[in-house]
Structure formats: C-alpha cells, structure tokens
Structure 1
Amino acid sequence: MIPALLGMKNAMGEMRARPLRILQVVDKLTPDSGVAGVVLRYHDAIDKKRIVFDFLAHEEPDLWIRRRLEKDGSKIFVAPPLRLAALVPYLRFLRRFYAEHPEYAIVHGHLPNAAPFYLGMARAAGVPVRIVHCHNTRSGDTVPKRIRNSLLFKLIPLCANVRCACSEAAARFLFGARNGRVKRPYHLVRNALPLGPYRFRPEVRERARGELGLGTDCLVVGHIGRMCPQKNQAFLLKIFAAFYAKHKNAVLMLIGDGELHETLRRQARELVPEGAVLWLGVRNDVPALLQAMDVFVLPSLYEGLPLAALEAQASGLPCLLSANITEEARIVPGLAQYISLQETPAEWAALIQPRHERTSDTGRFFAAAGYDISTEAAKLATLYEKLHEEHCRQRPAEEP
C-alpha cells in the first residue's frame, strides 16, 4: 500500500513538472507578420521547462520558422482559411481539433475579430482559460471590415475570460474606456525585444552599408512594414520625394512586402529616380539593416504599439512617427518625434534629421520601460501558471 502511494505521489510530481503547453492562435507564421514576430520573440525567450508554445495558424507557415519551432519542441497546426463564406467547415475543423487535443487548458488568441469562433468553440469544448489579445487600435482598413469586426468584437465577452493587450491604447480600443481608462481588467503584455542584437555597433553599420552599396555620405531614410493601407507607404513616398528634392544623396530603404507592392513601385517611379528606393522585401536581418539607416519614418494610420518603432529606437535611430501612434511607443528620450498626418509631405520632410549622433546606450531605457524580453517572458510564464492554477484545479493532468 505504502509503495503504491509513493508511486502515485511521484507520478503526480512528474505531471506537475511537465511544462504547460499553450496554444497560440495566430493568423500566420511568416517573417512579415508583426503579431507573429511578437509571439515568436516570447517563444524564444520563455523558459521551456515551464512553458511550451504550440501554434494554430491560418495558413502554411514559413518553412524556416516551422523548422525552428519544431526543433524547440513546438507543435504547429494549420486551420483552414477563415472566411465567412466558409464558416461552417471552419467551425467543424475547430470542433474536431479541440476534441482531439484536450491537453490544451489555455488558448491564447491573437485574432480578436475571429475570437468568437476559435474561442467560442474552445469554450464549448471546455477549455478553461481563453485569452483574447489585442495588438491594434482599429478594426480594419475599409468601412465594411470595420462594421463586420465591430459586430464580432461585441461577442468577445461571451467567449474570452482573460484579456491581454500590447498597450493601453490597444486595450482601450478593444475593451472599452470610461473617463480615459480601460473599463475591464486586462494584462499588459508588451512588445518586448531581445536588446542585444539591436545595440548600435559602428562595425555592423559599416558592414551592412557596404553590402548594400551605400557610401559613407549616403543618407538612408528607413521604414519597416507590410505594404498595406494601414502602414501608409503611399504618403511615405511623398515624404521621401520632398526630402530627396533637397538631398540628392538620400535613399529610401523599404523592408517588407504586401498587397500594395506593385502599386507603390509605380508611384515611386513617378516621384524619384529608380535607384533612390531600395526594395529589400521581407528580411531576417532587420537588426543589421537598422544599423545601416540614418533615420526611421513610420506614418501609419493606426497601430497598437508598432514593433518597428521600438526596434528603431533600440538601434539608436531618430524616429519620425505619425501622431496616430500611441505615445507609449516613445521609449528612448529624444529619439521619437510625432507629427500629424494632416501636415504636408514637405512639412514631414523638413523634420527629418538624419545626422544624429547614434548611441548604443538604449537598453537601460527599454529595461526601465518594461521592454526587455527576458524579463517580460518570465512575467508571461508566471501569468500562464497563475491562470492555470486558478482555472484548472479540477482539470485532468495534461499529456506530455
């Protein structure tokens, strides 16, 4: 009898020692996805003896990302594309998925407009912890999308029982505000960074510029973002054209791709000489490319909290940001300047000051503001464990 009890006790200890597997629901796992970039940074930094991320994506993941995640022990599942016209097959997939994977006690969703579906089905399947995470401050680029999404957002309280946001502005947008404060309790999960790779190093700058064929006198105006209406690159090209008119040694470095790529190329040909814009596409060496820049410009129509603006400041770059971006994106004193989108491209261009003395001493500001990924990943692990303890006491032990 006593040996049997001891064996049971040891087995329970082993079950508790297993890491919690968290299902992260994302749109896609590709290098051009800002949301995926945030989640992957937390994946890289989190203690995998405590927490392991598995992923439910809505399209086939990038092969390099898939291999990297699977090497770390993560599982990747691919859901059918979510379209209202194909909603029934999507819901059938979710019902079958949750039935086949009862091990997930926590589902962390990063697609608020689809949350009524994947979190709703999670609730029906008995998943105890259902997290909705807001990464933005607007519900879409077009009026029909905004109307559709605003209706779907109203259903979120019926399916999610934990709220997260990347910024207070994003929380106010999705969870509502009263007297300027967020109405409902939420957890702030910052878009934190691994600070080491972004630290400014003159030798990295020199090497990166050399590989791109940029001379020492070249003024590099940089931008990172998916080529879509939200990022407002059409306005950015006009800003650069006004700047180029007075600085013929300037180039615009565009990192990213998207549905507006060809449209933007045509616009660029009408505004500046062909070689004045560097179309670098989606890259996996962003920290080095930031070192090659002289100034960073982000004229977004809306953002939750732009990761690119944080990366630029971590690299010591002066940043010119749209006034539509939350002030929470200002991390390093003196680097971020805000300007209204109502101002003309020439007025924006006049504020570009690329000859800035670069500093490598940005990490302390990020750490003080809560944007050091090592610290924030530990906090997120603790949050998951606390939620599991609070909501899952009666749940059977998870499978390894």
Structure 2
Amino acid sequence: MIRVLQVYPQLNNAGTEMVIFNLYKNIDRNKIQFDFLVEKPGELDSVVKSMDGKIFYINELEKKQYLERLVEFFYSHKEYNIVHTHTHQRMGEVLQAASIAGVKTRIAHSHNSRTDLPRIFSLYKRITSRRIEKYATDLFACSVDAAKWLYPCKYKQCKIIHNSIELQKFSYNQMKRNTMRLNLSIKPNVPVICHIGRFARQKNHKFLIDVAHQLVSKCSLVKFILVGVGPLQDNIRNRTKEYGIADNIFFLENRSDVSDILAASDIFVFPSLYEGLGIVLIEAQASGLRCVVSDKIPSEADLGLNLIKRKSLSDGASLWADTILQELSMQNNREFLSNSALLSDYDIRKTTKLIEQFYLERAIL
C-alpha cells in the first residue's frame, strides 16, 4: 500500500479541505492511504482516523524552527515518497524540507487566486512562490487563475485538477426540497436565496447582506439561507438586525445536508472577492440551481449549463437584487440539468481515477 502525505494548516469542514476528502472517500484505500500533516487539530480529524489515516501535528515540536522541524519529520518518516501540500502560507517550506529529506514526489496544489493577507505580505508571497516553483516536482491548481497566482513563472507547466464532487449526491430531488422547506417552515411559494461559505472577507458577506436588504425591500417574502461559520459571523448577524431583515435570514452554520439546502433554494448567490474555483458553485449547478455570481469567479466554474449570471460588484446591491428577481422569474428543468453530460468532468469518480493513476505511477519511480 502507498501512503501519501497530505499537508494542510488544519482539517476543517470547508471547501478546500473537502476537495481532498472527496478524493479520500472515493480512492481505492487498498492501494492508497492518505495521512495528514497539520499545524493544529480540526473538525475532520476524527473522520481521518475512522478511515485508518494518521494525523501528525507539526506544532508538537515547538522549540525548533519550522523548517528544521519539517526536515526532521521527513527524515523520521521515510515511508512517504509522495507529499501533496495544499494552499497555505508555509507550503514553500514544506516542499523545501521534503526535498532536503529526499522525498521524490513533491506536489504543490493551489486552491485560490488571492489571499486576505495584508499587502505587507506580498513580498513574502513572492518569496514563497519562488520557493514552491523551485522545490515542487509537480504543480496542481483548480483553475488557471489559481495557477497564475501561486506559480507566476511556471503556471503553464501546471496540471489543472477539477474540484470534483459526488454528482449523484447533489442531483435535484423534489422530495429533498419539500422536506427541507418543511423543516425550516418555509412555504412552497416563498423564494429562497442561498449562500454557502465561510464568514470571512473573501466571501463578501457584507455586500451580500446589502443585496438582501435591497431584495427584501422589493420582495418582502424572500428568505435567505446562509450556511457556514467564521470570524465575521456575529458582525453579519448584527448587520441583518440593523437593516431590520433578521427574520428573512436563516443562519445554519456548518451542515452535512448541503445538497438538501441547495434543492430547497431557488437562487444561489456568490459575490466573492476572489475564488480559486468555488466548489460550492459546482455543487449548485449540479443541483440545477440558477446562480448569480461576481465577475471575480474563474470562468472554469461555469459548466455551460446556462445557469450562471455574472455581475460586477461595482454594479451595487440594488442592481444585484434586480438581477436576482429576474433570475427568479426564469424557469428551468432542474432534474434534467442535474443529469447533463456537461457535468461529467466534475464527477469525483473521474478525478479520482486520474489522481489514483498519478500516485501509483509516481510510487514506482
């Protein structure tokens, strides 16, 4: 059996982590097992352990410098000939340490096209990118934008790996829609707008609530479902109270029934300031859901189902609200769209075979 070391800052129930967990659940674990190197405990640690994976916490060796600790780790764990590190501030050092210790396959994987770090860190980011380009043997990214951002000099050498999902899980189902609306006490005729994402600056919740305020003034029946947690959550809750629209907003925090929530919704709104791709946007389209998104979303996120309406954030909240109302008036066969062949490139089974083959080929080098 091949053991592949996946490197993250922390394993939480978020988009980037779920990309690799979708692979983890579908890969042939008789041939390949994932272990994880992280900096601190996370929400998904117990899931890893239940799937016979190991978790190592690099912060357990706090007295030594980070790079030195990593080198020591790789020298003491020679069972790892493949290291797959994902977007995080220290991935350059991870790859350098793995190189020093003689790890043969060192993968960098970009999941974003920007960061919320202050501008003072732009120099650090350039240094990190150079280090990644120097020490990685393979470059992965979820989109061309994500490749250009992290590998500015070598993005043309990057392999684009789709953020794939379990398509059948997200196929539209009328029964799921009815049950979820019943659970939330939402009547069948009430329009529901959904957003799923961490409450952080990148996801632009402040603007989203401005849009909600405008939309409620134009259609008082409308409800918003916001799924996720994060540092700005209390701030956003307070903003809904200031606008007097708290009764129109459901805050559902992290959920395991995202497919049901998408089925219960009529429009998915995604006003992000930037995205590597936005896996939840793939999930929304797989549910046949019409989507109003910012023009900062990479073009690869549009699956060609005629469900995506791109808007500039500079258009303002009122125009966004008008666009949502227009999209609500448009009808589409969600069950038909959920089974479209255009979704096939984002089928987790297809991506799993691709990654599995890559790992197996590298293991025999």
State the TM-score bracket (shorter-chain normalisation): over 0.9
Q: How does 1:27-66 map to 2 (within 5 A)?
A: 27-31=9-13, 33-62=14-43, 65-66=44-45
- Give distance in 1, aligned partners of 2:307 and 2:117: 29
Look up the SS of the partner of 1:303 in the other structure. coil
AA of the residue aligned to 1:37: M
Among 172, 176, 180, the alignment partner of 2:152 is: 176
Amino acid of the structure 2 residue aligned with 1:77: F
Cα deviation for residue 57 of structure 1 reads: 1.8
Query: Scaled by the length of structure 1, what TM-score is found?
Result: 0.86
Q: Which residue number in structure 1 is paired with residue 141 of structure 2?
A: 165
Q: 1:27 and 1:363 mapped to 2: Cα distance? A: 36
Q: Which structure: larger Rg?
A: 1
Q: Deviations over 1:234-274 (max 9, x none)?
A: 00101111111111111111100111111111211122332
Amino acid paired to 1:354 = L
Deviation, 1:230, is 0.6
Report the Cα offset of residue 99 of structure 1. Answer: 2.3
* Counterpart among 123, 130, 136 of residue 106 in structure 2: 130
Equivalent residue number for residue 376 of structure 1: 351
CA distance in 1, matches of 2:290, 2:71: 49
> Number of paired residues?
361
Partner of 2:3: 21
- 1-structure distance, mates of 2:97, 2:313: 41
Aligned residue number for residue 354 of structure 1: 328
Cα deviations by residue, 1:274-304 (Å, 9 ceiling, x for unpaired): 2111111111111111111110000001101
Q: Secondary structure at the match of 1:53?
A: strand
1:80 to 43, 48, 59: 59
Q: Which stretches in structure 1 are left out of the alignment for 5+ residues?
A: 1-18, 393-400
**CA separation of 1:49 and 1:220: change in aligned 2, threshold 3 A:** same
Q: Offset at 1:88?
A: 4.3
Name the SS for the 2:90 alignment partner.
helix
Residue by residue over 1:179-208, the C-alpha shift from the partner in whole angstroms, topping out at 9 and shown as x without a partner, is xxx754122211001011101110110001
Within a 5 Å distance, the mapping from 1:1-400 to structure 2 comes to: 19-31=1-13, 33-62=14-43, 65-80=44-59, 88-176=64-152, 183-352=155-324, 353-355=327-329, 356-361=331-336, 362-368=338-344, 370-389=345-364, 392=365
Cα distance, 1:366 vs structure 2: 4.5
Deviation at 1:144, TM superposition (A): 2.4
Secondary structure of 2:315's counterpart equals coil
* Structure 2: tracts of 5 or more residues without a match: none
Q: 1:133 to 1:143 in 2, by over 3 A?
A: same
Q: CA deviation at 1:43?
A: 0.4
Counterpart of 1:198, as a letter, is: F
Q: How large is the Cα RMSD of the aligned pairs?
A: 1.9
Q: What SS is found at the alignment partner of 1:91?
A: helix
Q: Given that residues 22 and 107 in structure 1 are in contact (C-alpha distance below 8 angstroms), is that contact kept between their aligned partners in structure 2?
A: yes
Conserved 8 A contact 1:112-1:153: no
Give the whole-Å Cα distance in 1 for the aligned partners of 2:155 and 2:42: 36
SS in 2 for 1:113: coil
In the alignment, the residues of structure 2 paired with residue 50 and residue 188 of structure 1 have an alpha-carbon distance, to the nearest angstrom, of: 24
Q: Secondary structure at the match of 1:48?
A: coil
**Contact residue 139 and residue 150 of structure 1 kept, 8 A:** no
Q: Take 2:236 and 2:197, find their aligned partners in 1: how far apart are those partners?
A: 13
Give the CA deviation at 1:332: 4.2
Deviation at 1:142, TM superposition (A): 2.7
* Secondary structure at the counterpart of residue 375 of structure 1: helix
Alpha-carbon offset, residue 96 of structure 1: 2.8
Amino acid at match of 1:73: D
CA distance, structure 1, for counterparts of residue 168 and residue 195 of structure 2: 21
What secondary structure does 1:280 align onto?
A: strand
TM-score by length of 2: 0.93
